[in-house]
Amino acid sequence: MDITNSIPDFKMIVRPEFVKKAEELKPELSTVRVNPVRLVQIVPHGEDFTAEPAEDAAALSRKSFGRGDSVCLDFGGHQVGYVSFRLSSTGSPQDAPAYIRIKLGEIPYEMGRNFAGYRGNISRSWLQEEYLHIDVLPAVVRLPRRYAFRYLELYVIDTSPKYKLTISDVVCESVTSADPGRVLPLKTADPELALIDRISCKTMESCMQLVFEDGPKRDRRLWMGDLRLQALTNYHTFRNYDLVKRCLYLFAGLTQNEGRVGACLFLEPKLQVDDTALFDFSLMFVSCLYDYYEATGDKETLRELFPTAERQIELSMAELDEGGVVRDKDTWWCFLDWGKGLNKQAGAQAILIYALKQARQMAEWLEDEEKAARYSRQAELATEGAMSRLWDAETGFFVSGKKGQFSWASQVWFVLANVFDREKNQQLLKRLIREDPPVKMATPYMYHYFAEALMENGLIDIALETIRSYWGGMAREGADTFYEVYDPADRFASPYGDRLINSFCHAWSGTPAYFIRKYLV
């Protein structure tokens, strides 16, 4: 799938009053200084690697390093921040620069792999590795970027035959805009759920920066679909309502051609919406605003941003054909999930119905009966289109695209769109699990919506089982934070052609805390 689908004649429409509001809500980052807790050895296991504790951190001060030597430090948990350390020389006077490589990784796999062997199709520049010359020792070395990592390896490319290096005062200034003090203690005696909740909260914490980032290692930006799930989880954990508000104002203040909410936004070098448009992500603005109002009751924001939500509906409705069904495309026009070969038409249709119902509700909150009636009619129209063209009564499943593809994502989204009553939704979900279509779910993003469909339709036990097996699977592998992509059957799965570039702390994966706190305890 070509993901370089810039929209033609892209231009950004700026609403300065919205951007100003967003900027006024810019959070302060808090900083904590974290030191490594131990030295580890990265050990191969088949194609994968583990980090085995070797010595305690104090052992570092007794070591010196020459050509080809290395050491791997473990910070004890996931960090997002700025790293510095002191390098000194020992032996004869320093007669040549020190030349070192620093590598940082969120999981042991990144530490074990040689980055030169990277074979993915998105930029290698995300891999966290620095090559540095240090002319004069001793020196305090400050690494140039913000990193997301647990492990840091120092590898000495060269010193000289006459001196070696010592390393001390290794510290990470870890940053976040999340305030852990606002997370209420979880009342559960279930250690597995407690662990999953803790990992979720840590994932959220690492992704909460000046905006809700999707992943602090990659792409480090605000994606609309990710934001929607982060915001939901945030309402049940860190409760930073202003950060959600800020992100909503950014999306509304920096739209694309025709007022479309972009798929993602950059903060630097200036506030800028990206030129990628995704059908479902634009509609997620509607959902995110709806959730925000439900969580806060902030009517002023609802009133001010509702027109932006309405514009997304309008633009999406224009994508319907004569039969009331969203036109399918060959490009990367809609996200849904990274599932291989997933056709997006049915999922997109369901998301449109889902968003129309939320728009109707928002119009009612704003006491605009005329609009409420209009969105109701549009939801009916899109439902009729779906039932006549996408519903296959014989198999009892929704099909998608020209070839009538049968996927998990399409069924899940139609359940969420509530085109049936609860009983039929339950039957559809159970049939889906039984038949297990070949086009599977690939990411925690899609698994979230599956779990949500189950929870919302009273299938709490199956939802809980999904959380225990799927997110619990990552926890059992020792995850500090939840991964962008997780396939229990293939630990090397990656939508980008190489697991190395996957993000191992990803916002859209941090939602179990939402389920646990909203539905389970």
Site residues (vs ligand RAM, CB under 6 A): 214, 219, 223, 225-226, 335, 484, 508
With residue 196 as reference, give the H or E element that holds it.
helix 191-207
Rounded Cα distance between 132 and 135, Å, is 10
Residue 212 has φ and ψ, to the nearest 5°, of -80, 105
End-to-end CA distance of the chain: 41
Rounded Cα distance between 255 and 11, Å, is 9
Q: How far is the CB of 501 from ligand RAM (least distance, A)?
A: 10
Residue 93's Cα: distance from chain center in Å? 49
**Which is closer to ligand RAM, CB of 234 or CB of 301?**
234
CB 386 within 8 Å of CB 419: yes
**Which is closer to ligand RAM, CB of 3 or CB of 13?**
3
**Which is closer to ligand RAM, CB of 21 or CB of 202?**
202
Q: How far is the CB of 45 from ligand RAM (least distance, A)?
A: 26
**Which is closer to ligand RAM, CB of 2 or CB of 322?**
2
Q: How far is the CB of 332 from ligand RAM (least distance, A)?
A: 9
- Of 415, 408, 414, give the one whose Cα is nearest residue 385: 414
* SS3 (DSSP) at 13: strand
DSSP 347-407: HHHHHHHHHHHHHHHHHHHTT-HHHHHHHHHHHHHHHHHHHHHTEETTTTEE-BTTTTB-B
**Which is closer to ligand RAM, CB of 122 or CB of 186?**
122
**Which is closer to ligand RAM, CB of 197 or CB of 484?**
484
Residue 258 CA: distances (Å) to CA of 22, 150, 319, 352, 439: 21, 43, 14, 18, 34
Q: How far is the CB of 264 from ligand RAM (least distance, A)?
A: 7
Q: How far is the CB of 128 from ligand RAM (least distance, A)?
A: 17
Rounded Cα distance between 230 and 244, Å, is 9
Q: How far is the CB of 164 from ligand RAM (least distance, A)?
A: 42
Rounded Cα distance between 499 and 118, Å, is 9
**Which is closer to ligand RAM, CB of 199 or CB of 428?**
199
**Which is closer to ligand RAM, CB of 214 or CB of 310?**
214
Q: How far is the CB of 454 from ligand RAM (least distance, A)?
A: 23
Longest dimension (CA), the chain: 84
Rounded Cα distance between 245 and 23, Å, is 11
Residue 437 CA: distances (Å) to CA of 22, 229, 350, 431: 43, 25, 18, 10
Q: How far is the CB of 316 from ligand RAM (least distance, A)?
A: 18
Record the tokens describing residue 251, joined without a space. 């999306």
Q: How far is the CB of 450 from ligand RAM (least distance, A)?
A: 17
**Which is closer to ligand RAM, CB of 217 or CB of 245?**
217
**Which is closer to ligand RAM, CB of 224 or CB of 459?**
224
Q: How far is the CB of 106 from ligand RAM (least distance, A)?
A: 14
Rounded Cα distance between 301 and 24, Å, is 14
